């Protein structure tokens, strides 16, 4: 099992981080509940 550690700070970081997790979860078939 692999782990992803992702840190984000500030408004821009949060917006980019939100989109990052959206793309990653779609690519790996993960829904909002896990």
Question: Does 26 have pLDDT greater than 90?
Answer: yes
Q: The whole model's pTM is what?
A: 0.59
Q: How far apart are CA 23 and CA 25, in angstroms?
A: 6
pLDDT tens per residue across span 1-24 = 688 888 888 998 889 888 988 998
pLDDT of residue 5: 86
Q: How far apart are CA 16 and CA 9, in angstroms?
A: 10
The tokens of 3 are what?
């782990």
Distances (CA, A) of 25 to 17, 18, 22, 31: 12, 11, 5, 7
């Amino acid at each position: 099992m692999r782990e992803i550690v992702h840190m984000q700070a500030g408004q821009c970081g949060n917006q980019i981080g939100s989109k990052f997790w959206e793309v990653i979860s779609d690519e790996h078939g993960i829904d909002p509940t896990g």
